[in-house]
Structure 1
Amino acid sequence: MNYENILAEKDNGIGLITINRPTKLNALNRATILELNEAFTAFNTDKAVKVIIVTGSGEKAFVAGADIAEFADFNEEEGEKLAALGQELLFDLVQNLGTPVIAAINGFALGGGLELAMAAHFRVASDNAKMGLPEVSLGVIPGYGGTQRLPQLVGKGRAMEMIMTAGMANAEEAKTYGLVNHVVPQAELIDFCKGIAAKIMKNSSVAIANAIKAINANYEDGVNGYNTEIRAFGESFGTADFKEGTTAFLEKRKAEFPGE
């Protein structure tokens, strides 16, 4: 896959997406969002890819925010369309992918960068990472799901404080808040994420996709997550992965899931 603003590579069942705009601290502009949409969609439809890792190029930033110059002169209608389109093309897409997405946060994850990391299924941070939603310091609010996902992860009060102060949390603070799962030295970040990916890949990709769907259902308005879980549980019984998993257990051998 050849892109102008990102790098995408596949190796041993892992799709690695690297946002590659180092001179802009990997800021998200429209072109980058479109390329990310294409890369995530391609990996999600590739049966050989079992886990996706998303990170930023260099040592300074995962994504330092949105490209402000691109929308500084927008009016109200244009601003609303910007948020709606961005959520549809990237942030909601990532959250609802059936393929697990790990955000490897290397350095600054601010504004749209933190919103992208929060859309991933979970997050690992390098020890130099700093995270925040500074939008109110620019006279705007988070528009790519930040006001919704941050409270889900850290609680309403903590999210209110982070958004209102436009402050940043360091990696250890973010771990304490529940915003990231692990903090590791920057040099070990990608290998650590690949280690988690290897554990994930031992399991049924079909079951994992259904688990993601059921977990996300709990956060959707008007959706009963328990009912989603019940349906997905029942559907599991009709899969080849279920047959292989239960047979392997009874035969006391390692399962070789077909992913069907």
Structure 2
Amino acid sequence: MKTKITILFLFISTLIYAQNIEPIQADRPDQTETPAIVPKGMFQVETGFTFQKNDAFSKSLSLPSSLWKYGVNENFELRLITEFLSEEINNEKINGFSPIYVGLKVKLTDEKGIIPKTSFIGHLSLPNVASKEFKTEFFAPEFRFVMQHTLTEKMSLSYNLGAEWDGFSAEPTFIYTNAIGYSITEKLGSYIEIFGFMPQNKKSNHSIDGGITYLINPNFMLDLSSGIGISKNAPKNYFAFGFSFRI
């Protein structure tokens, strides 16, 4: 009898907890990462497939790219990024896993007036944990400050500022993103975004993209997105779809 009561209590507690947490928030499909932290004790996976045409002679496929996240507490999450790539340049193909990234996200501030909801994201790539074709010479760090403002009940403004290294040189590439999100319904969301990469000693490239998300339930979401380059040296276009879930 005591065992049945205990199981019933745990089941009810789980339902109450699920009702009290917000619907899943993911770092995909846009380039702008969210400041939201995965709830404590929950495991979240965000995975997707990307088809990108770089120029007339090259294209790349991400099959897939996955972000694995675990909520340690309300202010901190652990992160792991894995990606299988297929690249074609002048009809020559290479396939394999890119270096794994390990990292974290730390909550810095809640939204208050003009102060945005802000978190810090940091990753470090492991050069030897990769397929031979995609190994780098050095460990490669990357970081972002991710911010979000609530504009209206249905609209938000999000932006990221940061930098990344390629694992071959000490020169950084600076990153910016700026996205407007709009909730069409309680389940259907949309966004439009501009983003770019600014290498220290090369020309910057800038792109624009947009997409939609659909919330199947509070813990499972689908997404669809596409974008085009707006500077000459940016990738010509890309198309992506994926899903995110947490348990």
Give the TM-score category using the shorter length: under 0.3
Tell me the TM-score normalised to structure 2 length.
0.26
**Higher strand proportion:** 2
Structure 1 length as normaliser, TM-score? 0.25
Higher helix share: 1
Q: Which has the higher contact order (CA 8 A, sep 6+)?
A: 2
